[in-house]
Each structure stands twice: as C-alpha cells, then as structure tokens.
Amino acid sequence: MRAHLSNAAYGILDYGAYPIGMLAIAPMVLHNLGLAKYGVWTVATAAVSIGGIIASGFGDANIQHVASRRGAGEQQLVLRAVRSMMGINLALGVALATMGWVISPLAAAHLAAADENLRNSCLWSLRIASAMMAVRAVESVCISTQRAFERYGAAVRISILARLLALVAAAGIALMFRSVIAIMAATGFLMLAGLLLQLSKLKHMLTADTLTPAFDRDAMRALFSFGAFSWLQAVACLVFSQVDRLMLGVSLGAAAVTSYALCAQMAQPIYGFAASGLHFLFPYLSNRNAALDTASIRTPVLIAFACNALFVGVTTAALLMLGERILHVWVGAAIAQAATPILPTIIWSSALLGLNVTATYALLALGRVRTVTLLNLTGGAVMLLMMLYLTPRLGVRGIAIARLSYSLIPLLLYIPLLLHLNRKPALTRTLSLLEPVGEPQ
C-alpha cells in the first residue's frame, strides 16, 4: 500500500510541479523579456510539449508490454521490448525534430514578420525546441519503463528536477540577458543532462549491457499492435483538447475564448489529478493480470474506482460551491461574471472525464486499447458535431455542452470492463487465446 501511495503522490507531483512553477516565474520572465519575447518563449515551450506528446504516444504500449512480460518473469523479453521502444521513439523523435526544424523559418516569419531581431529569436528558439522533441521522445522510453516497473519516484524525481532547474535558469537568464534563445538553450541542455541520467538509471535497473535501439521482430509487432492505437488516441486527445478554443475564437472572438479558457483551466485539475494520481494502476494491473488471473485484479479495480469517485466527488462539489468566488479573486469581477453561466457545465465535463480514469487504465492494462481508442474517438466526433450545431445557436454555452458530451461517452468503458471482470477464469483463458496479439482479453 505504501508503494502505491508513493506512486500516486509522484504521479500528482509530476502533473502539477511544472505548471505551478511556470505560474510562479511568469511575472518575472514577462517583466524582463517583454510581451513579444515572452510570447516567443510560450510558443516554443508549447511546441516542445506538443512534439513530446506526439513522439511519446507509444509510451502506453511500452508500459503494458513491459509490465506484462515482467509479470510473466520474462526478463529477456523485457529488455528486447525496451530496446525496440528506443528504436521506435528515436525514429519518431528525429522525424518530428526534422519537420520542426524545416518549418521553423515559416513559423518565425508568421509570428514576427515586422521585427527582424524578434524573428531571429523566434527562429532559433523554435529550432532548439525541435531538437528537444527528439530528446523528449527518448526520455519517454525511460519514464514509461520505470513506470512499468512501478517505480514512479526514480523517473519523476529526475524529470521534475531538470524542468524546475530549467525554470530557475529561465528566470535568471531573463533577468541578466533578456534572451529567449539563451533560455531555450539552457532548457535543452538541462533536458539532455536529465536524459543521460535517466538512461544510466534505466541501464542499471535492467542490468543491461546496452540500451542502443534495436528492432526485435516479436517485440515490435506487440508494441505496434497496441501502440498504433495508443498513439492515435494521444494525438486525437491533443486535438480535441484544443478544438473547442479554436472554434470559439473563430465564431465569437478572443473575449469569449478568455472566459471559457479560464473556466476550463480551473476545472482541468479534477481530471488531471485523478489521471496522474491513479496512473500507477496501469502497470500494476498489467503485471498482476499477466502473473495471476482476472479475479486477482477485481478487488484492486473496485478500490481504485472508489478512490477515483471519492476524489472526483469532493473536488467537484468544492468547485461548484467555490468556483465563482475563485474566479472573482483570480481574474476580477468582469471576466468572472461572463464565465459564471458556463462554469458548472465545464466543471461537470471535467468531473465525468475524471470518472473515466479507472476504466481507462484497467482496460489498457488488459490490452483493450482498441476499445478505449474507439470510444474516445467517438466522443470526440460527437463533440465536434455538437459544436458545429450548437455554437451558432447557443454561443459559448453550446461549446460547453458539446464538451460535456465528450466526457459522457467514454463512461461506456465501464461496460466492457465489468463484463471482463465477471467472466469465469476458464472462459477468460479461452477467449484470451482467440484475441490478436497486443490485445489480450
């Protein structure tokens, strides 16, 4: 139990530490860099985040496969899988980095067309960000493998330390040199140093002579059969998480986006903390399902759901009662007044999404990635259709209602999960033999 609580705490810390650090140093960096350069830094940082998400989309496949092979006691297959994952992510990371490097001049010209010095800062900041995408891709293999071994602390400590040191460096460089290029270079250096330390720790944990990329046929087939869907889901979630703001901005203008985005930002931790705190459930259930049988994971799933529902219920109730006051203190009466009518709907959408966490991780651990991906894509498609229909009629409230539909549909994940948990062991074993590789039942 202590290990699970520790993993949950580190998961939450990994989710919250960097955004809180960004909020803390933002006024100082903004004051010293100025609005334009701060905007360049924000764009470059966002590019690294987006590229990192796309490049690490196979991470869930690595967690599921490594945890399962570890549960079955197949150490050599674990190492083959990790080295194959290194090959996949390195190839994906280099491809994204190359693409980012090539389009950086176009992006810089668009973002800073009238100022040559600012355009140069933007160009090289984006190019450094492109190189960091490849580093982030390899780092994700280290982190996902550590998580597959249920060792969240080792991976998170190094990652958080590197990122927080990068924020400290950003504040210092902004004060002394006022250079966004220098900030990005320092961030890239610290990220690379963190990666080297991660690789050293991983090599020691696996007792491996080398972690150089390899392409083992069986491991690649297993990783791709799961990872193709987890990558698609990661990219789709990235798109769906931003499309509401884009559609709102195009339809109703920047002012409407501001109040909506602030509500979404305030409600996001309901899902974010639930997902990060319960992430340890994924490798734990993968390992346990491979070593034992379906009946052995029933109790952990029920306990996790009870904790999941309790956290979501308490935080949702707190935000419904105090959300309006928080907005008044945070952004002032004018914006808070505009946001108040849509705040409850957005809070409920985040709450329902938070309730999906247990079912999502349990089904991923069981290899049901296709089911998870299908329902999430269905929810996203319904959300887009409802946005197109409701936005001209209800404005920002229509966007909020459409967002709610995206959270409702994935609740259906509990149906296949309950059916699976209630199967008899003999039937479960028989059906597992009939499933394609990478999606055991």
Identify whether 287 is part of a domain.
yes
Helix, strand, coil % in the chain, rounded to nearest 5: 90, 0, 10
211 & 311 share domain:
no
Identify whether 221 is part of a domain.
no
146 & 233 share domain:
no
Taking residues 27-36, what's their average pLDDT?
89
Residue 439 has pLDDT above 50, yes or no: no
Residue 427 has pLDDT above 50, yes or no: no
| CA–CA gap between residue 249 and residue 302 (Å, rounded) | 41
Q: Which amino acid is at 395?
A: G
Query: Taking the complete model, does pTM exceed 0.95, yes or no?
Result: no
238: left (phi over 0), alpha (psi -120 to 50) or beta: alpha
pLDDT score, position 113:
74
| CA–CA gap between residue 436 and residue 228 (Å, rounded) | 14
Q: Which residue has the higher pLDDT, 260 or 129?
A: 129
pLDDT score, position 256:
64
pLDDT score, position 73:
85
181 & 288 share domain:
no
239 & 354 share domain:
yes
End-to-end Cα distance, the chain:
27
Taking residues 295-312, what's their average pLDDT?
92
pLDDT score, position 433:
43
Identify whether 336 is part of a domain.
yes
pLDDT score, position 424:
61
Q: What percent of the chain has pLDDT over 90?
A: 60
Q: What percent of the chain has pLDDT over 70?
A: 93
pLDDT score, position 315:
96
42 & 115 share domain:
yes
Confidence of residue 333 (pLDDT cuts 50, 70, 90): confident
Residue 311 has pLDDT above 80, yes or no: yes
396 & 256 share domain:
yes
Residue 182 has pLDDT above 80, yes or no: yes
Q: 379-405 pLDDT, tens per residue?
A: 999 999 999 999 888 888 998 999 998
Calculate ∠ Cα 387-391-396, nearest 5°. 105
Residue 332 has pLDDT above 80, yes or no: no
| CA–CA gap between residue 285 and residue 291 (Å, rounded) | 10
| CA–CA gap between residue 168 and residue 31 (Å, rounded) | 15
| CA–CA gap between residue 92 and residue 369 (Å, rounded) | 21
Identify whether 85 is part of a domain.
yes
Residue 262 has pLDDT above 50, yes or no: yes
Mean pLDDT estimate for the chain: 88
What is the sign, positive or negative, of the torsion defined by CA atoms of 364, 366, 369, 371? negative
pLDDT score, position 432:
46
**Boundary-marking domain end, from 161, 196, 215:** 215
pLDDT score, position 329:
82
Q: 122-140 pLDDT, tens per residue?
A: 999 999 999 999 999 999 9
The CA radius of gyration of the chain, in Å to the nearest whole number, is 22
Confidence of residue 261 (pLDDT cuts 50, 70, 90): confident
pLDDT score, position 430:
47
Q: Are 58 and 231 in contact (CB under 8 A)?
A: yes
pLDDT score, position 436:
47
Q: 343-383 pLDDT, tens per residue?
A: 999 999 999 999 999 999 999 999 999 999 999 999 999 99
Provide the number of structural domains found in the chain.
Answer: 2
Confidence of residue 24 (pLDDT cuts 50, 70, 90): confident
Residue 120 has pLDDT above 50, yes or no: yes
**Boundary-marking domain end, from 215, 240, 268:** 215
Q: 62-71 pLDDT, tens per residue?
A: 999 999 999 8
202 & 257 share domain:
no
437 & 288 share domain:
yes
Residue 425 has pLDDT above 90, yes or no: no
Taking residues 201-229, what's their average pLDDT?
92
Q: Which residue has the higher pLDDT, 259 or 249?
A: 259
168 & 245 share domain:
no
Can you give the residue range of the structural domain that contains 416?
226-441
**Boundary-marking domain end, from 164, 190, 215:** 215
pLDDT score, position 145:
96
pLDDT score, position 71:
86
